[in-house]
């Protein structure tokens, strides 16, 4: 069967959307593996998954369907990029948690780990709220980032430097709906 064109998949023709970095089927397989790992690690407990909006919502929705335990969810929204493809270096909490996390097992779910600035900030902020445990789960991590693996317990894929879109990741709120993770040639846009 022939694969639909990018235009048919996204409804938008954008010459900046490039090659597939991780195919949708590979993503789904790895998400199932991560869910099985979380199930084994948290047996007998009810972890609270904290999704970082907006990029992690697709990953987290699929992930919870692969965790064979009762789970609860909450969300935070933070900003360090705005509508740019370069971080400002300043992390701002736009939406905080709706519940107290003291004494809870927390899994922070992120779409992508770049420099680690946002996750380090969130980790410090959430640890100050005295959870029983706090682990980080990210779908993607940039290759070449120092100590990325030290921050993250559950990781999907290591990817090369460069902007990517699809499977919840966007550029200027576009291309989240793509089933694959694709290179985005940002030098031609924004």
| Predicted local confidence at residue 129, as pLDDT | 97
Q: Could you read off the pLDDT tens digit of each residue along the chain, which spans 190 residues?
A: 333 444 444 444 788 998 999 999 999 999 999 999 999 999 999 999 999 999 999 999 999 999 999 999 999 999 875 554 455 567 889 999 999 999 999 999 999 998 788 888 999 999 999 999 999 999 999 887 656 667 899 999 999 988 999 999 999 889 999 999 999 997 644 4
CB 101 within 8 A of CB 126: yes
- Reported residue count of the chain is 190
| Predicted local confidence at residue 9, as pLDDT | 46
Q: What is the pTM (predicted TM-score) of this model? A: 0.85
Q: Is residue 142 part of a domain?
A: yes
| Predicted local confidence at residue 92, as pLDDT | 86
Q: Is residue 78 part of a domain?
A: yes
| Predicted local confidence at residue 5, as pLDDT | 44
Task: Let me know if 114 is a catalytic residue.
Answer: yes
| Predicted local confidence at residue 145, as pLDDT | 61
- Distance CA(54)–CA(52), nearest Å, equals 6
Q: Is residue 85 part of a domain?
A: yes
Q: Is residue 6 part of a domain?
A: no
CATH number of 141's domain: 3.40.50.2020
Q: Is residue 87 part of a domain?
A: yes
Q: Which residue is catalytic, options 105, 114, 170, 180?
A: 114
b or e along 83-122 (b: 16 or more beta carbons within 10 Å of the residue's beta carbon)?
Answer: eeeeeeeebeeeeebeeebeebbbbbbbbbbbebebbebb
- Distance CA(134)–CA(119), nearest Å, equals 12
Q: How many structural domains comprise the chain? A: 1
Q: Is residue 14 part of a domain?
A: no
Range of the domain at 150: 20-183
* C-alpha dist (Å) from residue 95 to 54, 145, 174: 11, 27, 21
Spatial CB neighbours of 107, under 8 Å, sequence gap ≥ 6: 38, 47, 48, 49, 50, 134, 135, 136, 137, 154
Q: Is residue 138 part of a domain?
A: yes
| Predicted local confidence at residue 142, as pLDDT | 87
Q: Is residue 109 part of a domain?
A: yes
């Amino acid at each position: 069967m022939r694969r639909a064109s990018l235009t048919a998949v996204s409804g938008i023709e954008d010459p900046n959307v490039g090659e597939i970095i991780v195919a949708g089927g590979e993503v789904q397989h790895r998400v199932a593996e991560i869910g099985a790992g979380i199930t084994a690690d948290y047996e007998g407990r009810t972890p609270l998954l904290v999704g970082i909006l907006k990029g992690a919502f697709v990953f987290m929705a699929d992930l919870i369907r692969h965790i064979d335990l009762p789970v609860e969810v909450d969300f935070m929204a933070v900003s360090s990029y705005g509508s740019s493809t370069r971080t400002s270096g300043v992390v701002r909490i736009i939406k905080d948690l709706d519940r107290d996390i003291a004494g809870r097992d927390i899994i922070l779910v992120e779409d992508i780990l770049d420099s680690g600035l946002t996750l380090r900030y969130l980790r410090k902020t959430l640890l100050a709220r005295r959870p029983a445990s706090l682990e980080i789960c990210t779908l993607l991590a940039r290759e070449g980032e120092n100590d990325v693996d030290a921050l993250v317990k559950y990781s999907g894929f290591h990817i090369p430097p460069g902007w990517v879109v699809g499977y919840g990741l966007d550029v200027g709120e576009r291309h989240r709906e793509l089933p694959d993770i694709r290179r985005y040639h940002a030098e031609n846009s924004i």
